[in-house]
Amino acid sequence: MRIVWQQGSSNPDNVVNFNDICQWWGSLSKKEVAWAQRLIPEDNNVNQIDWQTQRFDEKFMIQTPEIRGITLYWYKLGDNAQRNLTPKKLELDLTKGQLYIYPASQAQVVIRIAIPQVKYQVVDLNNPQIAANSGEENFLLLLRDSQQKIEVKLNLSSEKQLYLLSILAKNLKLDTQFNLSPEKLNQLLENINKK
C-alpha cells in the first residue's frame, strides 16, 4: 500500500496522507535505516530505478526524526549536526517500509529511506526423509535430504504442533484423494495417540 503526499496537490487525502507519513517518519527514532539516492530516469519512470546497493548508499541509526512544516529533520546517531530535507513529494510504501522523498531542490533526484529487511536463506527439500521424536515439552521433527546432505531439526512447542497439524489437516481435506472428514481426522489422531 502506497501513501502519497504532494506539495500543492488538490487531492482531498493529501493532508491525511501527510499526517500518516509524519507518524511513520517519527517512528524511525533509534532504528537503522538504509539511505539511497538515485537519479530519476529521463522518461520519469521511477519503477526502472535500480535500488541494489551502490557505493554511496548508507546505513545508519536515525535519531529524532521529525517533520516541521513540510521539512524532514533528523540526526545520525553520534553526529551533532541536524540534517533536513524539504520535499515536493513523499511516497510511503507501508508494505516494504520504504519512504521515497522527491526533494524540492533537486528535480531529477529521488531518495529512498528504507528499514532494512531481514533476508532468509531458503532451502528446498524435495520429499525429504522424516523422523519425529516426542520429548516431555517439545516435539522434534527431523527433515533429511540425503542427496543434498541437509538436515533440518524443528523443535515444536505444543502450540506449534497444533498449528502444523491444522495446516496439514486443511491440506488433506482439500485433497480429494483423502476426503478427510473431521471424524476421520479424529480417528487418525486417536490411532497415533495409542502408539
- The grid coordinates listed for 96 are 516494504
What is the predicted pLDDT for the residue at 17?
95
Confidence of residue 158 (pLDDT cuts 50, 70, 90): confident
pLDDT at residue 155 above 90?
Answer: no
Confidence of residue 189 (pLDDT cuts 50, 70, 90): low
The 10s digit of each residue's pLDDT in 62-92 is 999 999 999 999 999 999 999 999 999 999 9
Lowest average pLDDT, out of 44-53, 85-94, 169-178, goes to: 169-178
Helices (H), 12-157: 14-26
The 10s digit of each residue's pLDDT in 118-140 is 677 788 888 889 888 876 677 88
pLDDT at residue 178 above 60?
Answer: no
Contacts of 44 by beta carbon, 8 Å cutoff, 6+ apart: none
- Measured CA to CA, the distance from residue 87 to residue 101 in angstroms comes to 6
Closest CA to 90 of 100, 79, 81: 100
What is the predicted pLDDT for the residue at 180?
59
What is the predicted pLDDT for the residue at 115?
92
Q: Are strands 87-93 and 98-103 parallel, antiparallel or unpaired?
A: antiparallel
Mean pLDDT (whole number) for 108-113: 96
- Measured CA to CA, the distance from residue 156 to residue 140 in angstroms comes to 6
- Measured CA to CA, the distance from residue 126 to residue 51 in angstroms comes to 33
Mean pLDDT (whole number) for 172-190: 63
Contacts of 28 by beta carbon, 8 Å cutoff, 6+ apart: 62, 65, 74, 113, 115
Mean pLDDT (whole number) for 20-40: 95
- Measured CA to CA, the distance from residue 72 to residue 79 in angstroms comes to 17
Greater pLDDT, 171 or 61: 61
Strand partners, 100: 91, 112
Q: Are 111 and 36 in contact (CB under 8 A)?
A: yes
What is the predicted pLDDT for the residue at 191?
64
What is the predicted pLDDT for the residue at 32?
95
Q: Which residue do the cell numbers 495446516 mark?
A: 167
Q: What angle do CA 60, 98, 38 make, to 5 degrees?
A: 75
Greater pLDDT, 112 or 152: 112
Q: Are 109 and 39 in contact (CB under 8 A)?
A: yes
Confidence of residue 102 (pLDDT cuts 50, 70, 90): very high
129-136 long-range Cβ contacts below 8 angstroms, 24+ apart: none
pLDDT over 70, % of the chain = 86
Closest CA to 85 of 100, 64, 70, 107: 70
